[in-house]
């Protein structure tokens, strides 16, 4: 078994039986479900809306090269700079160069999974640049030395009491501080950072090819604050973030908001089509703007025809909340930035397929993830495609292969199955299933006689 798979199983074991963790997740997801039910009511025909969104994303992915070129052309025309990064190292080097040439020693960051993916904050810290997360959830995770738990709500695993305890230990706030007091304290603290920062780093929810625009959607206003004050704005965006035209936002923004948080529309939606042109302090738009278009394994995924559909993902997080596996093991167990069903599909392609293929097996294949996806990604089928890919590419453990071949041979041979002694067969089956069943469950006991013997006995008894 690969190292990552062993770690994953260990984490799952711990998290699944952590009662406090289960209570926090259950509570937060039940609140999410109630909001989403309300948010979805805005659609007259939700099915048609999702089909349309899926088709637009499909068209974009099938012609990604030309949409990327249009974005570059239009964004450059608007005065911005596009940087192509084939991996995290390229992107980090580019960020380092931009910050150095602008003498930046403080960066404000808004929530972005892409920057998590390439570990921007550790890189900046290692290079003597302070980086402050400004999204409240990310900020909590940062000050507690934790990792984001969920792609939309990074601190979802923590209760209000646990957050109050973190603020008490870090900043001396009362241990029973209320959420309002904590947010107010954070707002005041971050305000200084917004004013002092030499640059801001954000992700992008969408990139519009037609206009060369970066679209940011958020609820706290920290993204707007960042881009309004920092003289330099660096956007790190995956190449799959493209949508063809500005009018497509009419569909994607409500879909993302309703499935992401149950809102009709996210509170702040910014469309930034280039720098403001003032290289000094900004007048509500940065003087210099860079978009780093990141590949980092995405073209590997694009190469796999069925699985490439996963690049349509708009990161709403709905599939995570719907997944019975995620709800039990939580976001950290996946050992990757992208967790839940979407993470299980894309992580093996973005990282090392052999090391992370086990994630595609962590699913009951119930299909709930595909059902809730606003861009109709058939996630549970893609998990099966990944499993198939794993087997075909000899990523399966040798012992597992041998066992499957032996099992198949035995199952196709009636005489062998019926041959006594049954006790030996029972011993082997119990040995194998007993281990896989886990230490907290007892494997179903095998009958003491074979099926054919039991069947014959039953027939005789009926005569
Ligand atoms: S795969 Fe679909 S449901 Fe899951 S995060 Fe992406 S868009 Fe949302």
Judge if 138 and 190 occupy the same domain: yes
Instruction: State the sign of the Cα–Cα–Cα–Cα dihedral 427, 431, 436, 438.
Output: positive
330 shares its domain with 358 = yes
Same domain, 22 and 52: no
Ligand 1 touching residue 349 (CB < 6 A): no
- For residue 12, the enclosing domain spans 1-27+313-396
- Please, what is the angle between helix 249-260 and helix 19-39, to 10°? 140
Q: 241 and 201 share a domain?
A: yes
Query: In whole angstroms, what is the distance from residue 171 CA to residue 167 CA?
Result: 5
Ramachandran assignment for 103, one of left (phi > 0), alpha (psi -120 to 50 degrees), beta (any other): left
Rounded distance from Cα 400 to ligand 1 centre (Å)? 32
Q: Tell me whether residue 323 is in a domain.
A: yes
Using the 3D structure, point to which of 231, 266, 296 is the last residue of a domain.
296
372 Cβ closer than 6 Å to some ligand 1 atom: yes
Same domain, 13 and 113: no
370 and 250 share one domain: no
Does ligand 1 come within 6 angstroms of the Cβ of 315? yes
Report the distance separating Cα 367 and Cα 386, nearest Å: 15
Please give the Cα distance from 47 to 409 (Å, whole number).
Answer: 46
For residues 60 and 243, give the distance between their C-alpha atoms in angstroms, rounded to a whole number: 6
Establish whether residue 95 lines the binding site of ligand 1, counting it when its CB lies within 6 angstroms of any ligand atom. Answer: no
Q: How far apart are CA 217 and CA 220, in angstroms?
A: 10
Inter-residue contact 79 to 289 (CB < 8 Å): yes
Mutate to test the pocket of ligand 1, among 316, 341, 381 (most ligand atoms within 8 A of CB): 316
Q: What is the pLDDT of residues 164-191, one digit of tens each?
A: 999 999 999 999 999 999 999 999 999 9
Are both 235 and 352 inside the same structural domain?
no
Ligand 1 atom closest to residue 369's alpha carbon, by position in its atom list? 3
Nearest CA to 128 out of 152, 103, 145, 160 is that of 103
Are residues 347 and 291 both part of a single domain? no
DSSP 3-state assignment of 101?
A: helix
Question: What is the C-alpha separation between 448 and 421, in angstroms, rounded?
Answer: 10
Are 317 and 328 within one domain? yes
Residue 68: give its domain's CATH number.
3.40.50.10420
Judgement on whether residues 201 and 289 belong to the same structural domain of the protein = yes
Distance spanning both ends of the chain, measured CA to CA: 52
Residue that is last in its domain, among 396, 422, 449: 396
DSSP helix/strand/coil, 84: strand
State both tokens at 308.
């490439």
- 212 and 148 in a single domain? The answer is yes
d(CA 246, CA 363): 36
8 Å CB contact between 116 and 222: no
SS3 (DSSP) at 243:
strand
Closest C-alpha to ligand 1, atom 3: 373
354 within some domain: yes
Whether residue 280 is found in the same domain as residue 342: no
Four-residue CA torsion sign, 294, 326, 148, 112: positive
260 in a structural domain: yes
* Digit-coded pLDDT (tens) for 69-98: 999 999 999 999 999 999 999 999 999 999
Is residue 267, in this structure, part of any structural domain at all?
Answer: yes
Pairwise CA distance, residues 380 & 366, whole Å: 7
Q: Which of 61, 258, 317 to mutate to test the pocket of ligand 1 (most atoms within 8 A of CB)?
A: 317
Identify the CATH number of the domain in which residue 334 sits: 1.10.1060
C-alpha 47 – ligand 1 centre gap (Å): 15
pTM above 0.95, yes or no: no
Does 326 map to a domain? yes
**Of the residues 396, 420, 447, which one is the last residue of a structural domain?**
396
Judge whether 307 lies within some domain.
no
The answer to whether residue 303 sits within a structural domain is: no
Nearest atom in ligand 1 to the alpha carbon of residue 310 is 1
From first to last of its 463 residues, the chain has per-residue pLDDT tens of 788 999 999 999 899 999 999 999 999 999 999 999 999 999 999 999 999 999 999 999 999 999 999 999 999 999 999 999 999 999 999 999 999 999 999 999 999 999 999 999 999 999 999 999 999 999 999 999 999 999 999 999 999 999 999 999 999 999 999 999 999 999 999 999 999 999 999 999 999 999 999 999 999 999 999 999 999 999 999 999 999 999 999 999 999 999 999 999 999 999 999 997 444 444 455 689 999 999 999 999 999 999 999 999 999 999 999 999 999 999 999 999 999 999 999 999 999 999 999 999 999 999 999 999 999 999 999 999 999 999 888 667 778 788 888 888 888 887 777 765 667 777 777 777 766 777 777 777 777 777 788 888 888 887 7
Q: How many residues make up the chain in this entry? A: 463
Q: Which of 189, 332, 164 is nearest to 340 (CA)?
A: 332
């Amino acid at each position: 078994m690969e190292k990552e798979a062993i770690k994953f199983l260990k984490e799952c074991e711990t998290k699944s039986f952590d009662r406090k963790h289960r209570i926090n997740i259950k509570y937060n997801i039940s609140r999410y479900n109630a909001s989403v039910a309300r948010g979805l009511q805005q659609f007259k025909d939700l099915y048609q809306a999702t089909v349309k969104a899926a088709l637009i994303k499909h068209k974009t992915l099938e012609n990604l090269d030309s949409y990327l070129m249009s974005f570059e052309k239009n964004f450059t025309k608007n005065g911005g700079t596009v940087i192509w990064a084939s991996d995290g190292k390229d992107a980090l080097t580019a960020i380092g160069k931009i910050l150095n040439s602008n003498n930046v020693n403080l960066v404000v960051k808004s929530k972005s999974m892409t920057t998590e993916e390439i570990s921007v904050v550790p890189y900046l810290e290692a290079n003597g640049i302070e980086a402050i997360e400004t999204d409240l959830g990310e900020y909590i995770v940062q000050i507690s030395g934790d990792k984001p738990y969920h792609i939309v709500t990074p601190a979802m695993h923590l209760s209000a009491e646990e957050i109050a305890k973190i603020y008490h230990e870090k900043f001396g706030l009362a241990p029973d501080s209320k959420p309002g007091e904590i947010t107010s304290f954070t707002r005041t603290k971050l305000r200084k950072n917004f004013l002092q920062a030499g640059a801001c780093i954000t992700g992008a929810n969408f990139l519009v090819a037609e206009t060369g625009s970066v679209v940011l959607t958020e609820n706290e206003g920290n993204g707007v604050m960042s881009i309004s004050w920092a003289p330099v704005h660096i956007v790190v965006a995956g190449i799959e973030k493209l949508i063809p035209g500005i009018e497509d936002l009419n569909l994607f923004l409500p879909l993302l908001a309703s499935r992401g948080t149950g809102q009709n529309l996210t509170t702040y939606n910014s469309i930034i089509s280039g720098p403001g042109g003032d290289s000094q302090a900004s007048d509500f738009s940065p003087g210099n703007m860079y978009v780093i278009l990141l590949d980092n394994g995405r073209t590997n995924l694009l190469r796999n025809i069925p699985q490439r559909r996963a690049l349509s993902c708009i990161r709403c997080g709905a599939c995570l909340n719907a997944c019975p596996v995620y709800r039990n093991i939580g976001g950290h167990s996946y050992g990757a930035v992208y967790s839940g069903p979407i993470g299980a599909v894309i992580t093996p392609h973005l990282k090392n397929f052999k090391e992370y293929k086990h994630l595609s097996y962590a699913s009951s294949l119930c299909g709930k993830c595909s059902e809730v996806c606003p861009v109709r990604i058939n996630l549970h089928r893609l998990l099966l495609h990944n499993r198939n890919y794993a087997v075909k590419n000899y990523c399966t453990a040798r012992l597992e292969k041998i066992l499957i071949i032996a099992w198949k041979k035995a199952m196709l041979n009636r005489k062998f199955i019926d041959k006594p002694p049954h006790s030996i067969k029972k011993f082997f089956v119990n040995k194998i299933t007993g281990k896989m069943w886990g230490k907290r469950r007892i494997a179903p006991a095998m009958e003491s006689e074979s099926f054919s013997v039991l069947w014959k006995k039953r027939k005789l008894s009926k005569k």
